[in-house]
Structure 1
Amino acid sequence: MYPESTPHPPVERAVEVHQPTPYPPAVPVAAPVVPVQPNAVPAVASIVLPDGRVVTGYAINPAHPEPPAAKPALSRTAVNVALGGVGFLAACGGLILLTSFIAALTAFITQLITLAAVIFGGWIAVQIFSARGHQSGTGTTVNIRKAVIKRNQFRH
């Protein structure tokens, strides 16, 4: 058709225009009704975009960061160490009191035993020395002489 040296004539192509196919509208589903406090309804804001479209929606309040927590005047470790020291001192004081009580009780029991020994020993001494000091007529006197024991017989 055309010799090779000649340029190809421009090819005209047909322009096809596609129209979007609309989807059928969705069946509206009843949304659950949530009771809202009248004071809690946020404000509705509308924004006009550069191309002329208008977007309407609820205004979102920016989240405010919480202020940093103030550091306590004393650290928890220091407070725990101090409380531990107070508890240790209270326990040591209790142990000292317990030790003193046991020592006092031991000394008291020792004194009671010593007092009982002195009283009982004195009573025995009185019994012994009073019997030798005078002879009463009610006692039996036995004089033992030489006795010969022969073949299980006592001879006098």
Structure 2
Amino acid sequence: MPEGSPVAHPEPPTAVEVHQPQPISLHPPAVPVAALQTHAVPTVASIVLPDGRAITGYAINPAHPEPVAVKPAVSRTAVNVALGGVGFLAVCGGLLLLTSFIAALTALIAQLIILAAVIFGGWIAVQIFSGRGHQGGTTVNIRKAVIKRNHFHG
């Protein structure tokens, strides 16, 4: 408010008394009645102001906010990504072992082919350069021949 306005400030209440009225029963119940649920019937409160006036009304309970769902410390997406990474590493290790096995198998096959070539080549060389003669074949002796008028004279 702007300064100098003629608004009087009331005195704050000094003593407030709160009374809880008791319900008056006109007729005593002949049949015992079950106790009332306290949460079903709101409480009635009376307040006596310093000037003597009494105000009676229902007590207003403060509104409680809805509880917030508790989130886990780690999100499910992060857990799934981490598990996927672990699985990928396991697969990569298996693939590394598989490629090492294939490389070793390829080297073994190459060495067997080279060994076969050396053995077969050695056997051919022995056959060519051996000093033994032919056994049971046809021997052809070539000598100088004279060819006259399409006839062979030997």
Q: TM-score, structure 2 length as denominator?
A: 0.48
Q: Higher relative contact order by CA 8 Å / sep ≥ 6: 1 or 2?
A: 2
Q: TM-score, structure 1 length as denominator?
A: 0.47
Q: If you compute each CA radius of gyration, which structure gives the higher value, 1 or 2?
A: 1
